[in-house]
Structure 1
């Protein structure tokens, strides 16, 4: 009986291990956490997806496409690059925020831009 239980346990471990390895989801950023990071670090200049420094460079989809390098190749990656490195009047947050914070805020910005910031 003990041997049979061991064999059953081994089968379950193999099956569940195979399923988890074969169908592991890609890393999904935490949009809710991104909203918190945005509120704490970005909203002063980008409330409602706007831009108080330069009104043309908003966080709306058309502006992101026009002003961010490589936006068409990867939306969240382009936003994360901008947040990490800054540019012109925008400060770099790479030394202030963790990689996870930046990935989450990039996902939040992309999600909100797709919704028209409404």
Structure 2
């Protein structure tokens, strides 16, 4: 009986040390991933399903003074009108990453 218990314990030890635990999900730091998870629901391909004119295209960003990383980061952080604030959901680094991504996509026409 003692050999059996020892064998079971060794087997369990080998099994638990052979497999790693699944990684805990963390928020992405890549701007495209962040945009896909948090923004694309309303801003798919730079559009705006809530207010058409307030899209993320280069001309609209320029028209509304949102054509800089700082301006985009500010609105992502604090929100405005129908735009939710993300300061409690994203880190400053993530907000900077998504702002840079939005500006880059606007420059290339969201292609």
Give the alignment's TM-score, normalised by structure 1: 0.67
Cα deviations across residues 3-61 of structure 1 (Å, max 9, x unaligned)? xxxxxxxxxxxxxxxxxxxxxxxxxxxxx800000000000000000000000010011
Residues of 2 paired with 1:44 and 1:55: CA distance? 14
Question: How far off is 1:67 after superposition?
Answer: 1.7
Count of aligned residue pairs for this structure pair: 83
For residues 57 and 75 of structure 2, the distance between their equivalents in structure 1, rounded to whole angstroms, comes to 15
Indicate the RMSD between aligned Cα atoms, in angstroms: 1.3
Map 1:73-84 → 2, pairs under 5 A? 75-84=68-77
Q: Compute the displacement of 1:116 (Å).
A: 0.6
Query: Runs of 5+ in structure 2 lacking a partner?
Result: 1-28
Structure 1 CA distance for aligned equivalents of residues 34 and 63 of structure 2:
24
Moved over 2 A (4+): none
CA distance in 2, matches of 1:114, 1:101: 20
**What's the offset of the Cα at 1:64?**
0.7
CA drift at 1:80: 0.3
TM-score, normalized by length of structure 2? Answer: 0.71
Within-5 A mapping of 1:41-52: 41-52=38-49
Counterpart in 1 of 2:81? 88
Structure number with greater Rg is 2
- What are the ranges of 5 or more consecutive residues in structure 1 without an aligned counterpart? 1-31
Query: Match for residue 95 of structure 2?
Result: 102
Return the offset for 1:95: 1.0
